[in-house]
Structure 1
Amino acid sequence: MGIKTKLHSVITGTGSYIPKNIISGNAFLNASFYDNGVKLEKENTEIISKFSEITEINERRYIDEDQISSNIAAIAAQSAIDDAKIDKETLDHIIFCHNFGDVKSGSNRMDILPSLAAKIKQALQIENPDCVAYDLIFGCPGWVQGAIQANYLIQSGDAKRVMVIGAETLSRIIDPHDRDSMIFSDGAAAVIFEAQEDEEPLGIIAHKTQTYAATHGSLLVMGKSNNPDEQNGNAYLKMNGRKLYEFAVTTVPQVVKKAIDKAGISIEDIKIVFIHQANGKMDHAIMKRVFKLYGLDTVPENLVPMTISWLGNSSVATIPTLLDLVRKGKVEGYKITKGEYAIFTSVGAGMHINAFVYRF
């Protein structure tokens, strides 16, 4: 008898769109920040400096006024198709991961009719009716969950090629009177997963997802402006930063460990970690605790590439954008090596946590 091969979900193409509008801390010097309806007395220079120190965010990117999420996602999607060198008509699924749909400049109204995935299929002019396009709403961990769904589709034998997109334009739904608004950014990225047969472990090896809605579902919600004089009926992205930080550093390491243990490998086998670019301080604390769970006191150098300092937090777009940049040699000190193991992990509204182990 010959060696039995297995189906694996392998990344064959990536693409991203990074908006050209660079928003530095200076853009918030004239902002009026409030907390619980009371205007903050501290100087904005101090507020901005402290924010940057805690989050490691110095810049973020915003889209142009005439752009929307599906526009920038279509650019990233075409780039991924070109990178994979495939016929777009051979895609079996398009999974678009987002949270707020298309939001036009000057508006707070979300548009998801038709679904953003359908808009991408239309923009790319994919005619094949067997290419199924749908959206996934899963908070910041949406793209990671989309990749896990792609793996299920491929391993079932029902799909051979799945494109998973992560795109968000958070600049359109943030409260200008909320300090936390300085965290958020815009961006888009797309990744193509393909079925490959091999006796060796490849692609997504193991994964784990958890949802803590009952106890922590209100840490990220939509709410009114911090400014009591601007109650115009609009809803803005709101988060309980302190509680979210505590939740993430406590629970994410456990989920990462479950995925690694499920894969049957050692923490030392992990050579690169693609973690959601949420908050620099938080991400470092998470990684330190992951290694602590294995009795190790230090995180190896050049293990965790970071883009948050210049790209900010673009929600579902952070991880696929980071992957695309590393694959194409655009993150100094990091590269992808065939045969090495990686971790992809995220946390966000829901509250959802997920992780998967991947072998390049």
Structure 2
Amino acid sequence: MIRSVVKGSGSALPKRCVSNHELAEKIDTSDEWIVERTGIRQRHIAGEDETTSTLATEASCKALEAAGVSADSVDIIILATATPDETFPATATKVQAALGIKDCVAFDVAAVCTGFLYAISVADSLLRTGMGKRALVIGAETFSRILDWEDRGTCVLFGDGAGAMVLDAEESDEQGILAAKLHAAGEHHDLLYVDGGPSTTQTVGHLRMRGREVFRHAVTNLAEVLTETLEAAGLSAADVDWVVPHQANARILDATAKKLGLDPDKVVVTVDRHANTSAASVPLAFDVAVRDGRIKRGDLVLLEAMGGGLTWGAAALRY
């Protein structure tokens, strides 16, 4: 059976790290208020010379190095982002050029915080049907550019960053992506969206969110899609070595693990250091856990996320 096998991962963060205390000097908030409600203690904010494409390129270089392969061997680049460098062309093509790849498939995927799950699922489909043999899948965001810094309920929640994975099409009975499930419910648009865009306001706009409603949907939807994905892979929660969730809020992570009966020690948590980096959060957290030795070859790993749309999804992979 042809499966999409993770050969290497990488991540990148902006140089500037902003603590809750620093935010409290400019916004009506406090470290205690933010930590109690979200678990976030700091986040990285992109500087003028740091963009979605530069962070994506840095993460990609590290993933290629970890995989031990050259950039010109990549057949497919899929970049998940809600904050592209430009309306068009796809930011993936800028990464392609920066990596020195002369020709390959390159495009962006927009599913907000679920973007990486959508991107890795599309890559898996393309690899298994023979469109290419090697894919570079990236999640990268500069959410700081679309935040309303006067809205203390949202601006403290997000950060910037990127994560990437190299996937190879290989014959394998065990290793690789075992199952993936994706969902969307557009009727919940108003719970999490940006109030601007080229075809409506001709402006970038700012992020708007109804946090309590998003929290409620997140816990229910994520628990259901994780169960659905495990069933599709013929596995149970007891088989799981690690869960790498979208890093939105520590309380969502705790509630989802409890609902599934998962050991909290098996959940990779980086939200305290990175805040919510949207499409970047899952591959960024995965790379952190690989590099610090928690995730090892042969481990069964669940990836999951929910974001604006609403969209949500999960994937089971044997690393």
Q: TM-score, normalised by structure 2?
A: 0.94
Corresponding position of 1:230 = none
Q: Quick one: which amino acid aligns to residue 72 of structure 1? A: L
| Alpha carbons of structure 1 residues 270 and 50: separation in structure 2 relative to 1, 3 Å | same
How many equivalent residue pairs? 312
Instruction: Write the distance in 1 (CA, Å) between the matches of 2:159 and 2:296.
Output: 30
8 Å Cα contact 2:43/2:275 also seen in 1: yes
Structure 1 window deviating more from structure 2 (80-89 vs 202-211): it is 80-89
Corresponding position of 1:121 = 96
| Alpha carbons of structure 1 residues 301 and 217: separation in structure 2 relative to 1, 3 Å | closer
Within 5 Å, which residues of 2 pair with 1:229-308? 235-291=205-261, 299-308=262-271
8 Å Cα contact 1:118/1:133 also seen in 2: yes
Q: Quick one: which amino acid aligns to residue 15 of structure 1? A: G
Partner secondary structure for residue 183 of structure 1: coil
8 Å Cα contact 1:256/1:345 also seen in 2: yes
Q: Say whether 1:348 aligns with 2:318.
A: no
Instruction: Write the distance in 1 (CA, Å) between the matches of 2:297 and 2:185.
Output: 35
Residue 252 (structure 1) shift: 1.3
Contiguous gaps of at least 5 residues in structure 1:
1-5, 34-43, 103-110, 225-232, 292-298
| Alpha carbons of structure 1 residues 234 and 350: separation in structure 2 relative to 1, 3 Å | closer
Percent identity of equivalent pairs:
31
Q: Say whether 1:136 aligns with 2:131.
A: no
Residue 202 (structure 1) shift: 1.8
Query: Higher Cα Rg: structure 1 or 2?
Result: 1
> For 1:152-194, what per-residue CA distance to the aligned partner results, in whole angstroms no more than 9, with x for missing partners?
0111122210000110011111011112110000001111100
Q: Say whether 1:204 aligns with 2:187.
A: no
Q: Say whether 1:53 aligns with 2:36.
A: yes
> For 1:7-48, what per-residue CA distance to the aligned partner results, in whole angstroms no more than 9, with x for missing partners?
111000111112221101122224355xxxxxxxxxx33xx4
Corresponding position of 1:223 = 195
| Alpha carbons of structure 1 residues 196 and 218: separation in structure 2 relative to 1, 3 Å | same
Partner secondary structure for residue 18 of structure 2: strand
Contiguous gaps of at least 5 residues in structure 2:
197-202
Instruction: Write the distance in 1 (CA, Å) between the matches of 2:204 and 2:226.
Output: 37
Match for residue 62 of structure 1 among 33, 37, 45: 45
Corresponding position of 2:62 = 79
Structure 1 window deviating more from structure 2 (150-159 vs 267-276): it is 150-159
Instruction: Write the distance in 2 (CA, Å) between the matches of 1:218 and 1:287.
Output: 27
Q: TM-score, normalised by structure 1?
A: 0.83
CA RMSD for the aligned pairs? 1.5
Q: Quick one: which amino acid aligns to residue 115 of structure 2? A: G
Q: Quick one: which amino acid aligns to residue 358 of structure 1? A: L
> For 1:208-265, what per-residue CA distance to the aligned partner results, in whole angstroms no more than 9, with x for missing partners?
1111112x121111238xxxxxxxx762111110100011112210111000011111
Match for residue 338 of structure 1 among 273, 294, 297: 297
Q: Quick one: which amino acid aligns to residue 257 of structure 1? A: T
Corresponding position of 1:29 = 24
Structure 1 window deviating more from structure 2 (79-88 vs 138-147): it is 79-88
> For 1:110-150, what per-residue CA distance to the aligned partner results, in whole angstroms no more than 9, with x for missing partners?
x13221001011111111x2x11000001101011111111
8 Å Cα contact 2:4/2:128 also seen in 1: yes
Q: Say whether 1:151 aligns with 2:146.
A: no
Instruction: Write the distance in 1 (CA, Å) between the matches of 2:122 and 2:162.
Output: 19
Q: Quick one: which amino acid aligns to residue 228 of structure 2? A: K
Residue 340 (structure 1) shift: 2.6
Q: Quick one: which amino acid aligns to residue 187 of structure 1? A: G
Q: Quick one: which amino acid aligns to residue 150 of structure 1? A: A
